[in-house]
Structure 1
Amino acid sequence: MANFAFTMSVSPWPTGKKIVHLDLKGAPPRMSYMQKLIPLIARLGASGLLLEYEDTFPYEGDLKVLQVTDHPPYSREEIRSIQDMAKSNGLEIIPLVQTFGHLEFVLKHREFWELREVGYILGTLNPHRENSVKLVLQIVRQVLELHPDIRFSAHWGR
């Protein structure tokens, strides 16, 4: 078996922020993995993390139904821990909140069907319904309350 050795040089990043998008829905990383991943992302030169929680966020009250059911969502303590890890590694957190589009994780639930823009399409919220705006504000409020130190938030809409 041959031994290969090589060196890799990486040219400097261009100026500006380098944000890594972590899509946490579906198969969210465990905290033990995040403890390794976040420092690695920082060492590679990123300046921030764009966190897309969707159903892995620990929603409360009327929104609790949005939480994933086939595995536990992140706890409030885990969300705070992710923020602490990011901060200690010099990374800024930017929560990504779905608004009027890409809301499958919300509109698949029977209690929100009437908020779909088109009844058989579950990804788009009807912006003309009063409860649609209330729902989006409720989601954004809960995410922002658990991220008190953020300077930016991102949203996907239309």
Structure 2
Amino acid sequence: MTEFTPLLSALGGVMIGLAAVLLMAFNGRIAGISGILGGLLPPSPASDRAWRVAFLAGMVAAPLAYAVFSGGMPEIQVPMSMPLLAVGGLIVGSGLAYSSGCTSGHGVCGIARLSPRSIVATLTFMATTAVTVFIVRHVFGA
């Protein structure tokens, strides 16, 4: 069972929301991770590349800073095999391509902007997640 930590969860949500608001306020950009990373893949102007690299570097640096200050990373257990994880990754990647964005872009930023497309995408993500968890746990017994 996962330990429920409402205070830390709320703090994490506030920090994600604050990062999204600051990126929109200072750069006029949406904090969708797939879009930020995807913008680095084709050649992009240096001015556009700098903020993308800084944002992604912060995503890598934050858990490293946590490890330094707390004495280590929390243990993560993934009760699935690597082939199932790979299939799941392909499914998520396909959904990302079809929905023109990821859960962070649609769920955090899109809903905040009252985007109908993002609301539908997020409802689809959440419903698919619920069905998947039900099937994996109750049909396959994992």
What is the TM-score with the length of structure 2 in the denominator? 0.26
**Which of the pair has the greater relative contact order for Cα pairs under 8 Å at 6+ separation?**
2
Structure with more of its chain in strand, by fraction: 1
What is the TM-score with the length of structure 1 in the denominator? 0.24
Structure number with greater Rg is 1
Structure with more of its chain in helix, by fraction: 2
